[in-house]
Structure 1
């Protein structure tokens, strides 16, 4: 084909002609597509409409492919944050370590998240049905992602700008199991992680297993993690026993554990519970009309806090926790995550008796102290010989103590952290005192803490060292200071048996005599003079060691100490179980070095066990969650004393109970003379500490009663004695234990006697029991208004 000169000139001079590429000058308009894809399909199909359709399909496929590749690339960036297959197949759960008493009662749980596992079969069907009906009614139909729900939720989320909703139970489980990887922030990224993980979970687990894992990992409000903890904490039962209403209440909490808390917000919890019931009715898992019929039912709980302060033995539980932590560090276990099972030595029945004894006796003695330091009190006179008679008085100001000691209030203010903080700020002393005095609420609180009488009690099995009861104080919420294992106080006369033990073991006879006469000793190095006196007057007569110990005669004990030597006495005390530092000076004989109640009880158990020393044991066995034994207590005893020495001392301590300062146990209000008992009372200077130790072949007991601050004490000498304070704690406990028909202690039990000794059956004959004299102050106190003169003991 050829073009004329005019046609060529027109083509090059007019641009619009050049734009019509592909046009044949001899033909009409050019119909070929302009895009490469369009021209490609036009050249292949030779049809403009078909080429246009093919182009649209191609562009759509290209966009889809690009989106798929982009999304795939995005998912690749999330791979490091999505749980790997190994974690999906073997998820790790934080499980609480549960400690039990020796008789099978739950003592305490130790956990970051208080969770114990409940199998699917152990969960009430009401819980299962309430959960899927409310949270994910297509749970049994989807494969981890509810596409129908997602299609509804996505537009709503876009409109609201909040990517929530449509999370299946499986997605929620993914978040519970792998919250550090998936996160909890409300973002599209988190949703995608959830979805991918949920699909993997569905591939590897059955619906029942997913439901079980979900209910064991979900938070029901601190500190209840999982259905087992929630059922026990809110309703005091196992998950299998939850009723329809209880199940609906717990499932309702999942929308907001604080807002729908059944204890703190019962009305909100009731409304939410009714929503759950309506959903269950809607899905056909309960009969029509059930939700309406139950709508007005109140939310009833049996709330039991898992806090250690609510344990039946909180001080003991705290001591066990410290022991477990130390064992875990040595053995490579985390007691807060590994779900261990711990069996302790405590007996819940004896523990309740001990707690009751401490509470009842300390309450009455608190009233005594409050009365004595009120305006009605007196230094020499007692109002009643019955401690509980004082409960009628309400004055707890201790005004007379502050009158006798004007500087005391300033001294206790100086000891406070608030005073020390003000001093560090450069404030003047007088300015600080003025501010503290003006703060009445603070001063009342400070005084109340100082006036509060405290007590400690512990009981051990002497034949094993197993601790059976432990009361570290009157109320742990007021005072965490454990008066069994932590508090160190002077033991007073309860330390004397170590002096006599050192003597007996080195050849002294129980019938060796010393004069009850004044003692004067001057330390050759310090030139400090020591001249101890008796609580009662010095008699001047000769006394056997047995008699002197029975009646707690200080002068005889002091002379014996000088003969035996302080270092020898300290040696025997440590050998028997006293682990605290002891000052090896003559005054040690009268209990001037601080000890713990637990150490004293261990040492006295050596007497009861024929000279064998067992370490106090609080944990008998530890198992992992599969029941494999990880630890079992099997500490052999050590021979601390010869059998002859131990029994000789035990027999001398029998005299304390049968004729000495502990006679109230057998001849007073307790009437326990048919039991083989021995013991010792103790009181320190100014009655700051009062003690009583008592041993029986089946049980060894120790009690301390006093004030945390030694500057506070009983006012009269009558009440400031171990024989009238701590003895009552032990006596009340043992009387209650003895009432259980030989379950804990028996009348037939006898201390192990060497062959050279005869059995002490004469002690327990009817004639011997009838001859026991009542304490001199066991008189009728029915006339409570009558004031009586002080009776020394």
Structure 2
């Protein structure tokens, strides 16, 4: 049985006071900017009075009505009857006006809004039912079903019951959820993204757009393709939906989209008042670059920083957990690790020439390359990864099977559909930033991948711990193969395509990583890690046709790597965070990556890529 006080506390902790203020604590802040303990008598009486009807007796909604004041004064009279006030005190308090300090709770603001929204969706997810998914969403249904069975946080509210037998509700049950986000590192991640996109990338792609006459799309797509993209965006807009509900014909709606009107548009400098057609506003928004970034502890899986996009209020699609894009060359280390498992070493030699590989359907696959150095020479596997070389990668792919590689990718944490082809090795599979960051923890953990941990524990309204969460781990590689990959990925930074982290950012701590760029610069990636941090970043347009014309800005080393570099520099410069530049990677004493290679040349030093060798077609090379 519950006492009267406990019943009252439970009621007040679940009551909806409007404006996203659920519970007395939230209401005290929303209406007065205070904690419950800081409320005076008249403020507390007003909130209690609202419990009869939070709309009719709401001092914000009914600011010109006498009802909120009358209701508050009625509460004073009830307090007199209960002995909490004297008649004189009640009469005196009744003369006071209602004074509020309104703080509307906006879940689009605050710390890590993308993370909080992702957490909300995960915790409140229902058990997947095939009938709730479209016919083409079988892969998502399968993945959600696996998450329901294996991820204790997924659907937590619907998997667990309170003592009274009902399910938990994150809005009304007064739960205290302890997340893994580090607020300081979260701020550094958001700053790094803003500094690079607002300061460098967006101005650069704006210049290209102006040169094309204001069109945000690449000149490589046809006029019909542009028209199709814009028409689809118009039909998906709120303006189209409202106009359709108002009974307008399609021609009338299209006419509206070509008529100039006053509006506000978002920019990195803030909201701007302007006059333009709704169609031009769509073009403008399409031209804004998007990004996703996440950082986690590779040993316990704690997600420390999570930036799902550039501005949650305006762009709520989450590129960390929801957005799937082609991976480009950041997937190559997965293939190289398969070679290491099969007994290869970084020093094994491969003839650096273009080859054609016969496929099962009788056709031939002949991958291109942007690396024109050392053609016809013997090069090491290390050199191939260090320079993100397509020919070396393709040769390694020919030594295994697409099915075997597909299974390895799934072990590394890729959860989307994967077509088992030779071209997988050059980056055709799609993945989220979160999946790739989880996968790269394998290289720091002796071959063991750790799943992201978002929450450490949950307490109920009474302070009782009702759930705790520990990292889930998957053995992907042998420790020896993982250490060989760790060695090679360090050389990508120390003398390969990731060298800008040393030369441009002056980072001195041990580092490993990999750049990635997809066809025509549609997607720019960088995956990087230190001994105690793994982070990944993606940069690109909402549409794949919104991209840089050249690799000067479009490649992963230019578009995504600087965000990682800025973030790591901020983190390691903050002594309070405790990351030290002199902490080495954990590797076995006396480890030699080429001990079983039977000799061979030493691993080559990266010579740099001549700027005139970079074409506009990357063919998944960097």
TM-score, structure 2 normalization: 0.75
Q: Per-residue displacement from partner, 1:644-669 (whole Å, max 9, x unpaired)?
A: 1111101100111111111121221x
Instruction: Find the partner of 1:695 among 506, 529, 533.
Output: 529
Instruction: Tell me if structure 1 keeps the 8 A contact 2:386–2:606.
Output: no
Instruction: Find the partner of 2:308 among 472, 475, 488.
Output: 472
Instruction: Tell me if structure 1 keeps the 8 A contact 2:217–2:547.
Output: no
Q: Per-residue displacement from partner, 1:327-361 (whole Å, max 9, x unpaired)?
A: 23333332244443322222222222222222232
1:528 positional shift: 4.8
Distance 1:321 1:409, change over 3 A: same
**Residue in structure 2 matched with residue 408 of structure 1 by the alignment:** 225
Distance 1:414 1:507, change over 3 A: same
Instruction: Tell me if structure 2 keeps the 8 A contact 1:465–1:614.
Output: yes
**Residue in structure 2 matched with residue 140 of structure 1 by the alignment:** none
TM-score, structure 1 normalization: 0.60
Instruction: Find the partner of 2:36 among 230, 235, 239.
Output: 239
1:510 positional shift: 0.4
1:648 partnered with 2:473: no
1:478 positional shift: 2.4
Instruction: Find the partner of 1:737 among 571, 578, 589.
Output: 571
Instruction: Tell me if structure 2 keeps the 8 A contact 1:604–1:700.
Output: yes
1:693 positional shift: 0.2
Instruction: Tell me if structure 1 keeps the 8 A contact 2:537–2:564.
Output: yes
Q: Per-residue displacement from partner, 1:202-232 (whole Å, max 9, x unpaired)?
A: xx85xx8898678656653332244311122
* DSSP-derived class of the 1:702 partner: strand
1:727 partnered with 2:561: yes
Q: Per-residue displacement from partner, 1:491-513 (whole Å, max 9, x unpaired)?
A: 10101101110111111120112
1:403 positional shift: 9.7
Separation in structure 1 between the aligned mates of residue 378 and residue 252 of structure 2, nearest angstrom: 58
**Residue in structure 2 matched with residue 629 of structure 1 by the alignment:** 465
Distance 1:565 1:219, change over 3 A: closer
After TM superposition, the structure 1 = structure 2 runs for residues 476-625 of structure 1, keeping only pairs within 5 Å, are: 476-534=312-370, 539-625=375-461
1:358 partnered with 2:358: no
* DSSP-derived class of the 1:309 partner: coil
Instruction: Find the partner of 2:215 among 378, 398, 417.
Output: 398
**Residue in structure 2 matched with residue 61 of structure 1 by the alignment:** none
* DSSP-derived class of the 1:374 partner: helix
After TM superposition, the structure 1 = structure 2 runs for residues 117-128 of structure 1, keeping only pairs within 5 Å, are: none
Distance 1:316 1:217, change over 3 A: closer
1:687 positional shift: 0.6
**Residue in structure 2 matched with residue 680 of structure 1 by the alignment:** 514
Structure 2: unaligned runs, 5 residues or longer? 78-84, 125-154, 162-166, 261-276, 594-604
Distance 1:462 1:225, change over 3 A: closer
**Residue in structure 2 matched with residue 388 of structure 1 by the alignment:** none
Distance 1:627 1:758, change over 3 A: farther
Separation in structure 2 between the aligned mates of residue 676 and residue 474 of structure 1, nearest angstrom: 29
Instruction: Find the partner of 1:438 among 237, 240, 258.
Output: 258
Q: Per-residue displacement from partner, 1:598-625 (whole Å, max 9, x unpaired)?
A: 1111110010111112222212223333
After TM superposition, the structure 1 = structure 2 runs for residues 641-790 of structure 1, keeping only pairs within 5 Å, are: 641-668=477-504, 670-673=505-508, 675-741=509-575, 743-757=577-591
* DSSP-derived class of the 1:310 partner: coil
* DSSP-derived class of the 2:178 partner: strand
**Residue in structure 1 matched with residue 139 of structure 2 by the alignment:** none
Instruction: Tell me if structure 1 keeps the 8 A contact 2:15–2:22.
Output: yes
Distance 1:268 1:557, change over 3 A: farther
Distance 1:249 1:362, change over 3 A: farther
**Residue in structure 2 matched with residue 323 of structure 1 by the alignment:** 122
1:718 positional shift: 0.8
1:418 positional shift: 2.4
Instruction: Find the partner of 1:313 among 104, 109, 112.
Output: 112
**Residue in structure 2 matched with residue 223 of structure 1 by the alignment:** 20
Separation in structure 1 between the aligned mates of residue 568 and residue 56 of structure 2, nearest angstrom: 48
Cα RMSD of the aligned pairs, angstroms, is 4.2
Instruction: Tell me if structure 2 keeps the 8 A contact 1:455–1:704.
Output: yes
* DSSP-derived class of the 1:574 partner: helix
Separation in structure 2 between the aligned mates of residue 756 and residue 210 of structure 1, nearest angstrom: 65
How many correspondences in the alignment? 537
- Considering only CA atoms, is the larger Rg found in Structure 1 or Structure 2? 1
* DSSP-derived class of the 1:220 partner: coil
Is the helix fraction higher in 1 or 2?
1
**Residue in structure 1 matched with residue 136 of structure 2 by the alignment:** none
1:544 positional shift: 1.4
Separation in structure 1 between the aligned mates of residue 59 and residue 503 of structure 2, nearest angstrom: 53
Distance 1:557 1:401, change over 3 A: closer
1:711 positional shift: 1.5
1:471 positional shift: 1.1
Structure 1: unaligned runs, 5 residues or longer? 1-88, 91-203, 378-394, 760-770, 778-788
Q: Per-residue displacement from partner, 1:474-497 (whole Å, max 9, x unpaired)?
A: 122323321111111111010110
